[in-house]
Amino acid sequence: MYLLLTHGIVAGIHKRKKKSPYKDFWLVEFKQRNAVKTFLEEVGFVQKKPKMISRAWSHSKANVVTFSREELLKHSKLKRKYRHLARFCRCSKFYLQKVVADNDNEIGGKLLRFANGEFYLDEIKEIKEIVLEKPEPVYDLSVNPSQNFVGGFGGILLHNTEAKTLYEAMRVGAAGNSVMGTIHGDTARDVFERVVHDLGIPPSSFKATEAIVVAAPIRLRGSITRARRLVQITEVRKGWRSDPVEEGGFENLMYYEWKTDELKPTKSLLTNSELISNIARKWGVGPDEVRENIKIRAKIHGTLVEMAAELQRPDLLEANFVVRSNVKWRALHEEQLRHGRLNSSKLLREWRGWLDSAAGTDG
């Protein structure tokens, strides 16, 4: 299910019992038309290539939203065939996207942002109290405030009141995947103080943090207008005992250059980063190859941003298109590795050809 999410496919999982003597099995299921089409095009099957037969649009029971009639009338002007929405005030997010895509409708405000939002709605069917024989770690789900962690199976959003449990899992490798969290702090030291002293995470557990990325609102050239920028990327080294600030545990990899309004690499990133070296060991390559991979990704994402701005196509930066882009360049990358060493220039040229075709700019 987590792999399917990388393609934008939200699936359900069900346990099925077999009448035969074999064990029960689990069924991963998704029925949304766009998800099926994506699966057939980007994943597929090993031994067969079934054709997808598209029929007339039907309402989906998945990803359903209920809205007020007042909000609908305030933010939309609908064609006659969509006016039933004002009566039922309920439809799937997929159907609402279809309504927005019809240029004869006028959709704005919250409805437009909601239809294009990168999230999925699911209904809680049951809440059941469980009496445990002994205490077990739990996760506290939260919407506000925004101090959340992403972790666990399926990318669950976890509030940092349970940060201690999460950090312990990271330290012993139980999570097994990348985990991201948001912590208020203007510097890497502020993050350390917040996690260790305010949230009570032991310093030994904090070492599971590999990198800290600091974002802040900047008043460019003294303007009253603020713009959010990445101002610092810091790796957390492992040789310290109690205080990474005093013992050289923090090493800047990138810093914000206010004169050029750019994020600049430090000498550590280019020569002796422990984080880069650790990635290189896991990949079975040298640190320079990891840096080259980072440069390729930077050029790809930079090109996406530039094209989206030039064509006024914000959809090129939405999750669906970015996932397609990632899948394409990874496929080109793997193809080159199967036939020898990586050729960055060739990879970027082939990916750019795909981008022009996918974005409709090659005609």
Among 230, 171, 226, which residue's Cα sits nearest to residue 195?
Answer: 171
pLDDT of residue 232: 93
Q: How confident is the model at residue 177 (pLDDT cuts 50, 70, 90)?
A: low
Q: Is the pTM of this model over 0.75?
A: no
Average pLDDT for residues 36-54, to the nearest whole number?
Answer: 82
Average pLDDT for residues 281-300, to the nearest whole number?
Answer: 91
**Range with the poorest average pLDDT among 40-44, 93-97, 214-218, 231-235:** 93-97
Distances (CA, A) of 49 to 31, 45, 313: 17, 6, 33
Whether 146 shows a pLDDT value over 80: the answer reads no
The CA distance from 356 to 363, in Å, is 9
Beta bridge partners of 214: 232
pLDDT of residue 48: 79
Tokens describing residue 139: 């996760």
% residues pLDDT > 90 (the chain):
26
How do residues 199-218 score in pLDDT, each as one tens digit?
Answer: 788 888 888 888 999 998 88
Average pLDDT for residues 128-144, to the nearest whole number?
Answer: 69
Most confident of 32-36, 42-46, 56-60, 278-282: 278-282
Q: How confident is the model at residue 317 (pLDDT cuts 50, 70, 90)?
A: very high
What residue segments make up the domains of the chain, in order of their start?
Answer: 1-49, 58-121, 285-363
Whether 161 shows a pLDDT value over 50: the answer reads no
Run of H or E residues at 163: helix 163-172
**Range with the poorest average pLDDT among 47-61, 83-97, 105-119, 287-301:** 47-61
Whether 90 shows a pLDDT value over 60: the answer reads yes
pLDDT of residue 89: 81
Buried b (16+ CB within 10 A) or exposed e, 303-338: bbeebbeeeebeebeeeebbbbbebbbeebbeebee
Average pLDDT for residues 85-95, to the nearest whole number?
Answer: 80
Q: How confident is the model at residue 183 (pLDDT cuts 50, 70, 90)?
A: confident
Q: How confident is the model at residue 265 (pLDDT cuts 50, 70, 90)?
A: very high
pLDDT of residue 348: 94
Whether 174 shows a pLDDT value over 70: the answer reads no
% residues pLDDT > 70 (the chain):
85
**DSSP letter string over 167-209?**
HHHHHHT-S-S--EE----SSHHHHHHIIIIIS---HHHHTT-
The CA distance from 158 to 137, in Å, is 13
Whether 9 shows a pLDDT value over 50: the answer reads yes
Strands (E), 84-170: 90-92, 106-107, 148-151, 156-159
Crossing angle of the two packed helices 319-338 and 344-358, in degrees rounded to 10: 140
- Whether the CB-CB separation of 253 and 266 falls below 8 Å is answered with yes
Mean confidence (pLDDT) of the chain = 81
